[in-house]
Amino acid sequence: MHSLKKLFAAALAMPLLLNAGQSAIAQSAPSAQGKTELLWFGQAGFRIKTPEGKMILIDPWITGGPKTPPQYKNDLAAIGPIDAVLVTHAHVDHIGDAPAVAKSNNVKLYGPADMVTPLITLGILPADLGWRFNKTGRVTPLPGVKVTAVQAEHSSLLVWKNPATDKLESHPAGEPVGYIIELENGFKIWHMGDTGLFSDMKFISEHYKPDLVLIPIGGNFTMAPDDAAYALKTWVKPKMVIPMHYNSNPIAKGTLAEFQAAMKGSNIKIIPMIEGETVQF
Ligand SMILES: [Zn+2]
């Protein structure tokens, strides 16, 4: 094996977890050269720091998230400068603060084509900040970073309060997606978005070969812990997995403990996180 590859494999095997108290320190200090860093805000919201130091925000339900750490919940700017925003679908716990962050950073919001269109036509997002694409479409939001939209078995609807009437309106918002996010060094993250089980998870994994999978386990709206474990062990088989989309909604009752129990016997590395925590690869 090439020595660089060896080094990379060793780095993959040793994710560095920092607890919530340490995360502020980790953010203020320059991260190690070439490291990928994930900060979890809760639910499906992550900030990914790329090996080249760029910041990608995905599904940021921050000011509205019940488990968002207060330093971010009370001050959206505390998440720091963002270089690109990704959204998997229009449900509020995913679109959350995405338009606000895209506008305050003057960066593009990438999402399913028919979700971005109503954001623009309703005046939620300026047209020049919306990037429409769709499943199997690939974008390069930052130099050396490739993002491919993939299937997610779910739904998408935009609920918006019309300022003219002060009433809530429901707008069709296209189909939900997941994302294969390939960073500058080739490290691949599959953010599954919200999804139920579908057997093309096997195809997606074989075709894109993700190193790390972010998988919903809460149930009710997505896979529950047992189905998430089935998908991972039977079809996806990644090196590492971070469970997400649990602990934020009382009717999505799936727990980390249930997921860990269902994964027993698998050699897939489970990286449990708590809201506000960061992990490096
Ligand atoms: Zn959803």
Encode pLDDT of 171-229 as tens digits: 999 999 999 999 999 999 999 999 999 999 999 999 999 999 999 999 999 999 999 99
Name the least confident of 26-40, 100-114, 252-266: 26-40
Cα-to-centroid distance, 26 and ligand 1 (Å): 30
User: Do the Cβ atoms of 206 and 178 come closer than 8 Å?
Assistant: no
Distance CA 222, CA 50 (A): 28
pLDDT tens digit sequence for 53-98: 999 999 999 999 999 999 999 999 999 999 999 999 999 999 999 9
Question: If you measure from the C-alpha of residue 138 to the centroid of ligand 1, how many angstroms do you get, rounded to a whole number?
Answer: 22
Mean pLDDT, rounded, for 88-110? 98
Instruction: State the CB neighbour count (10 A cutoff) for residue 34.
Output: 17
In the reported structure, the alpha carbon of residue 235 is separated from the centroid of ligand 1 by a whole-number distance in angstroms of 22
Task: Determine the distance separating the centroid of ligand 1 and the alpha carbon of 1, expressed in angstroms.
Answer: 42
Distance CA 102, CA 96 (A): 12
* Contact between residue 159 and residue 169 where contact means Cβ atoms under 8 Å apart: yes
Q: How far is the CA of 194 from the centre of ligand 1 (A)?
A: 5
Residue 94 · residue 70 · CB < 8 Å: no
Q: Are 156 and 118 in contact (CB under 8 A)?
A: no
* Tokens at 231, concatenated: 């998908």
**Interior CA angle at 124 toward 123 and 128, to 5°?**
80
pLDDT the model gives residue 12? 45
Q: Could you tell me the distance, in angstroms and rounded to a whole number, from the CA of residue 171 to the centre of ligand 1?
A: 14
Tell me how crowded residue 21 is: count the other CB atoms within 10 A of its CB.
Answer: 9
Q: What is the pLDDT of residue 15?
A: 53
Residue 31 CA to ligand 1 centre (angstroms): 32
Ligand 1 centre to CA of 249 (Å) is 12
Taking the mean position of all CA atoms in its chain, how far away is CA 213?
A: 10
User: Strand ranges (DSSP E) for the chain?
Assistant: 16-18, 37-42, 45-49, 55-58, 84-86, 109-112, 130-133, 138-142, 145-151, 157-162, 167-172, 177-182, 188-191, 212-216, 240-244, 269-270, 278-280
Alpha carbon of 97 to ligand 1 centroid (Å) = 15
| 154 alpha carbon – ligand 1 mean position (Å) | 7
CA of 185 to the centre of ligand 1 (A): 30
**Domain architecture of the chain: domains with CATH:** 16-272 (3.60.15.10)
Residue 90: the pLDDT is: 98
| pLDDT surpasses 90 at 140 | yes
What HEC string does 24-37 produce?
HHHHHCCCCCCCCE
